[in-house]
Amino acid sequence: MFDLKEKSAVVTGAGSGIGRAVALLLAKQGAHVYVVDIDEIQAIATVEVIEEQGGRASAHAVDVSKQAAVAALFAGWAKADILVNSAGISHVGTVETTAEEDFDRLYNVNVKGVYNCLRAAIPLMKKNSGGVIVNMSSVAAGAGLPDRFAYSMTKGAVAAMTLSVAKDYIRERIRCNCISPARVHTPFVDGFLKKNYPGKEAEMFEKLSKTQPIGRMATPEEIAALVLYLCSDEAAFITGCDYPIDGGFLKLNN
């Protein structure tokens, strides 16, 4: 099950966190992974781990918010059977405390970056008679989270783009779904706590963990496992869906 041999997979934001876990797992299942990240050093590090484990991968440094750069990158590939849009950034603030430059920065990466990769990948998928897309949304798209105005906006847009692509390309045998994680323990979380709660990192980590009814944050590997399922032939009947993976956050919080 979940065999990806002979498949090529593009994973953005694959230099760290969820994207890296996805890249490692897809490679483990046989895919040749294009590791895409704005940080070339981190992308190369991910490729090195994949190759050490006997997998196949290549590193590609690109800013997904730049359409010309994304188009040029995809133009160099013969096919892209799988696209996982995992690149993203966050911001803390209400509408009043979100500066225009921060709003634009999140839009450019989290929304335009997804659009740019979709626009570059879909022609390749059409040429090769189909493909699979998984976009990374968030519980923030469907729940009112405090101080996450711009971030929630971008993830709502990702969910909407997912539905639109699934509808427009279902006859082209292109499936498109999205995943909505709650909090996931990534290096971003550790950096956020260190920056905003110096000396209280452990206390705040515990507090954030308990916002999930299950009592902890997810691991990147748990998110990657769901991505693998949706990318595999075992999920061939699934398109246009959003999958919360949230430890009960959306349904069980009172």
- Torsion over CA: 33, 236, 178, 170 (sign): positive
Alpha-carbon distance 213 to 94, whole Å?
25
C-beta of residue 89 within 8 angstroms of C-beta of residue 63:
no
Contact between 38 and 87 under an 8 Å Cβ cutoff? The reply is yes
Backbone angles phi, psi at 237, to 5 degrees: -100, 10
Q: What ranges in 15-96 are assigned the alpha helix state H?
A: 17-28, 40-52, 67-75
**Phi, psi for 127 (deg, rounded to 5):** -65, -30
Determine contact, residues 244/180, Cβ cutoff 8 Å. Answer: yes
Neighbours of 111 (CB within 10 A): 20
SS3 141: helix
The residues assigned a catalytic role are: 151
